[in-house]
Chain A
Amino acid sequence: MKKIIALALTLIMVFALAAPVASAADGSVYWLNFKPELDEAAQQLAAMYTEKTGVPVKVVTAASGSYSQTLTSEMDKSAAPTLFIIGNQAGVKEWGEFAMDLTGTPIAEELSTDAYNLYDEDGRLVSIGYCYECYGIIVNPDLIEAAGHSMDELVNFEGLKAVAEDIHARAAELGFDAFSSSDMDGSSSWRFTGHMINLEYFYEERDAGGWTECPASLSGAYMDNYKNLYDLCINNSLTDPADLATGGHDAENEFKTGKAAFFVNGSWEYAAVSETVPNATMIPYYCGVEGEEMAGLNCGTENCWAINDMASDADKQATMDFMVWLVSDPEAAAIMVEQLGVLPYKHVPESANGFLAAAAAYSDKGCYVMDWATNYQPNVDDYRAALVSALNAYNADQSDANWAQVVTAAIDGWAVQYAAANG
């Protein structure tokens, strides 16, 4: 009998050791981060905040392309994220009901614009932008000059086409090509199925006088313009279009090492690209639309914070304090700006991001901003997967029939996925 008691006592002691120690502070923060490139800085900021205030902050970064999977499983845990990302309309539909209404809260008061905020159908402010980004075509001006051209030629599709085709034709002699590779694997295909296709959505949206919710269908009026730019990109590049399907080419590196003059990507690349191409700049998606000389960059964000409404009041308060600290503490805000570019808040330093500066320069000239209509993509993973499959077939054989499949996937696929997501 003594043995059993001894055993039982030992077990109790072991479990007591393993039991979590109750937190000293009232609330804690659990930030489920969306941007892998922010992870290092986010961990640093979390440690800084904990040191300063004693409030525990945990940062977990979901692997690229798996945010919704990670969020789904994390939200079901008893210690669910208190701070998470609702980046687009599909996200509002899926997660909006779990988000706290941020209207009139301290973090909302810090905002300098409400242009990047997301509201649900009832007008609740479910998420607020924490940074602002732009995408387009990154250009190496030195290579353009080296090829005997000038940046002034890049003001519309005709100009871009002439320069790109000339560089590609003389690639062997010049030692560099026009476009870097446009791989269709998961790490790169979003540049075309999420970003470049935005030109089609944007011009449709502009014709419709702006979208306020996801349209049930598209007309496809600007698919030819998408084709213009897409064809230019795959046919004047370092890589044979037939070799793009499984990827494996490092487009960023091709651009950084001066092997290509153009690189389709966004402002988040500035830190990496400017290491070797300090005067890299960004031009809009010129695609043959009338009046595109006045086009600007694609500006918007998918980076919007939401607070988990199911969290305890203490955790919600702690999360709110942490968010306000990120965008108002001089040291923290400086790190945020360095990593993320422009932050739409009142008390943050100026950004040194050259691509966002280019976006501002276009706006100052009176050019129209191409907003991120792509954020309305319904059932986004399935929609883009079908588009990738159609583009793969087209890359291997650029026939009209294969392009028709791309159009079907992009336009009819929108209606199908809209019905699937809303059915």
Chain B
Amino acid sequence: MKGIFKNPLRRWFWLFLGPVTAAFAIGFVWPFLQGIYLSFCKFKLIRNAKFIGFGNYLSAFKDPTFLHAFWYTALFALTSLLFINILGFAAAYVLTQGIKGSNLFRTVFFMPNLIGGIVLGYIWSMIFDGILSRYGTSILLETKYGFWGLIILMCWQQIGYMMIIYIAGLQAVPEDMLEAAKIDGATKRQTLFRVTIPNVMPSITICTFLSLTNGFKLFDQNLALTGGQPFIIQADGSSIKTTEMLALNIYNTFYSSNSASKGVAQAKAVLFFILVAGLGLAQLAYTRKREVQQ
């Protein structure tokens, strides 16, 4: 027993782990548990929440705007995942071929990632409208403009980030393998698909995970670029916000003035967590299987 405490690391581990554990518990675990509890409650203020059971979940499933937001988000996440990763990988591949000015390009491509989402949304809405107004339309008038506008924005912002991860992966591909492929007479294309890509699978795993979850969780850019517009005004007077994604739908639900809506929004948020966590884990498991051991 005394031996354990002789080791300074064992004796002091709590001092190093303590602050992080406490911060994680206060900042994440406790609010998360409270959030789950609140999804079963009717409340205006957290202090006077009343337990009501599964009613909020039923209302969430019955809400057509939530389902619309789900499918729209899924389509967006998938499309942005493909574009961001293919273009990010392509940029990384080109910039590891030893061309002049690679470092400058890497820095420049990475920089959009440093700008906040709300600012990006407003800037891009001006850029898009500057072009679209020549044709008498606006990004707020057509769902397809809103969709592709957001894809372009996200690609612009995220490609550089993914590119950095891919560059690290590409630089870790063993030289001897590439040389062996060359000696064996493999074409550039064969080398890329048979040697390089299998070796950067760990990077692909992390990048697809990040872009998939980013796509689902997107909020700032969505709020600032279109805010859900255009709406389809239905004959009965209700409306569907055609470019509203899940996170924005939850936000809008929470701040509507119906006293029951906060609990419903909370239930939606829990469903949202299960969805994103589930998808993320499934995707991790899928791509991990394709990683090769070096």
Residue of A nearest to B259 (CB): A94
What total of chain B residues lie within 8 Å of the partner, measured CB to CB? 34
* A118 vs B125: C-alpha distance when bound (angstroms): 40
Contacts of B44 in A (CB 8 A): 94
Residues on B with beta carbons closer than 8 Å to the beta carbon of A245: 129, 138-141
Q: Does A392 contact B (CB under 8 A)?
A: yes
Are A392's CB and B230's CB within 8 A?
yes
Q: Report the stretch among B67-75, B94-102, B236-244 that lies at the interface.
A: B236-244
Bound complex: CA A423 to CA B238 (Å):
14
Q: Using A75-B45, A76-B47, A413-B239 as known contacts, say yes or no to A390 and B255 having CB atoms under 8 A apart.
A: no
Given contacts A379-B256, A421-B257, contact A389 B236 (CB under 8 A): no
- What chain A residues lie within 8 Å of B126 (beta carbons)? 246, 248
Contact with B along A393-415 (1 / 0, CB 8 A): 10010000000010011011111
**Chain A residue at minimal CB-CB distance from B231:** A389
Residues from chain A with Cβ under 8 Å of B230 in the complex: 389, 392-393
Cβ-defined contact, A243 with B133, below 8 A:
yes
With a 10 A CB-CB cut-off, give which of A72, A379, A382 has the most chain B CB atoms.
Answer: A382
Does chain A have a CB within 8 A of B229?
yes
Least distance between A278 CB and chain B CB atoms (Å): 35
Partner of B237, one of A90, A389, A413: A413
Q: Is there an interface contact between B138 and A246, defined as CB atoms closer than 8 Å?
A: yes
Residues of A within 8 A of B7 (CB): none
B258 within 8 A of A: yes
Min C-beta distance of B226 to chain A, whole Å: 10
B227 interface hit (Cβ, 8 Å): yes
Q: Size range of the interface on A? A: 35 or more
A75, A378, A408, A422: residue with the most chain B Cβ atoms closer than 10 Å: A408
- Would you call A409 and B237 a contact (CB within 8 A)? yes
Note all chain A residues with C-beta closer than 8 A to B258: 379, 420-423
A382: chain B residues within 8 A (beta carbon): 252, 256
* B residues near A326, Cβ cutoff 8 Å: none
B21 to chain A, nearest CB (A): 17
Q: A94-B257, A379-B256, A396-B136 are in contact. Are A416 and B129 (CB under 8 A)?
A: no
**Residues A381 and B231 in contact in the complex (CB < 8 Å), given A248-B126, A415-B237:** no
Given contacts A72-B255, A76-B47, contact A242 B137 (CB under 8 A): yes
For residue A147, CB closer than 8 A to chain B, the reply is: no
Q: How far is the CA of A423 from the CA of B197 in the complex (A)?
A: 55
CB proximity to B under 8 Å, residues A368-386: 378-382, 385-386
- Is there contact, CB below 8 Å, between B237 and A396? no
Check if A389 sits within 8 Å of B257, measured CB to CB: no
- Whether the pair A416, B238 counts as a contact (CB closer than 8 A) is yes
For B236, the chain A residues whose CB sits under 8 A away are 412, 416
> Please, which residues of chain A bring their CB within 8 A of the CB of B231?
385-386, 389-390, 409
Q: Is A328 an interface residue (CB 8 A)?
A: no
Within 8 Å of chain B (Cβ to Cβ): is A235? no
Residues of B close to A274: CB separation below 8 A: none
Closest to B128 in A: A246
Q: How far is the CA of A392 from the CA of B136 in the complex (A)?
A: 12
A346 within 8 A of B: no
CA distance A388 to B229 in the complex (A): 9
- Chain A residue at minimum C-beta to C-beta distance from B230: A389
Return the chain A residue nearest B59 by Cβ. Answer: A423
A93 at interface by CB-CB < 8 Å:
yes
Give the docked Cα–Cα distance between A93 and B260 (Å). Answer: 12
A72-B255, A390-B231, A421-B258 in contact; A246/B140 too (CB < 8 A)? yes
Q: Once bound together, how far apart are the Cα atoms of A293 and B230, in whole Å?
A: 38
- B46 adjacent to chain A (CB < 8 Å): yes
For residue B235, CB closer than 8 A to chain A, the reply is yes
The answer to whether B263 has its CB under 8 Å from any CB of chain A is no
Contacts of B238 in A (CB 8 A): 412-413, 416
| Assembled-state Cα–Cα distance A245/B257 (Å) | 26
The reply to whether B256 and A389 form a contact with Cβ atoms under 8 Å apart is: no
What distance in Å separates the Cβ of A403 from its nearest Cβ neighbour in chain B? 12
Supposing A412-B235, A420-B256 touch, asked if A389 and B229 sit within 8 A by C-beta, the answer is yes
B233 and A392 form a contact (CB under 8 A): no
On whether the beta carbons of B233 and A386 are closer than 8 Å, the reply is yes
A245 to B139, CA, bound (A): 9
In the complex, what residue of chain A is closest to B139 when comparing beta carbons?
A246
Q: How far is the CB of B146 from chain A (nearest CB, A)?
A: 11
CA distance A81 to B158 in the complex (A): 40
Nearest to B44 among chain A residues (CB) is A94
For the complex, what is the distance from the CA of A390 to the CA of B256, rounded to whole Å?
20
Task: For chain B, residues 114 to 147, give those with C-beta under 8 angstroms from any C-beta of chain A.
Answer: 125-126, 129, 133, 136-141
Q: How far is the CA of A396 from the CA of B132 in the complex (A)?
A: 12
Contact in complex: B137, A396 (CB < 8 Å)? yes
Q: Which residues of B contact A76 (CB under 8 A)?
A: 45-47
Chain B interface residues (CB < 8 Å from chain A): 44-47, 125-126, 129, 133, 136-141, 227-231, 233-239, 241, 252, 255-260
Q: Which 3 A-B pairs have the closest CB atoms?
A: A412-B237, A389-B231, A245-B138
Q: List 30 A-B contacts (CB under 8 A).
A: A72-B45, A75-B45, A93-B257, A243-B138, A245-B129, A380-B257, A381-B257, A385-B227, A385-B241, A388-B229, A389-B233, A389-B239, A392-B138, A392-B141, A392-B229, A392-B230, A396-B141, A405-B233, A408-B234, A408-B235, A409-B231, A409-B233, A411-B237, A412-B237, A413-B239, A416-B236, A416-B239, A421-B257, A421-B258, A423-B260
Kindly list 11 other residue pairs between chains A and B, CB separation below 8 angstroms, not including A246-B126, A392-B229, A423-B258.
A68-B257, A72-B255, A76-B46, A245-B140, A382-B256, A389-B241, A396-B136, A408-B233, A408-B234, A409-B233, A416-B239
Binding site for B on A (CB under 8 A): 68-69, 72, 75-76, 90, 93-94, 98, 242-243, 245-246, 248, 378-382, 385-386, 388-390, 392-393, 396, 405, 408-409, 411-416, 420-423
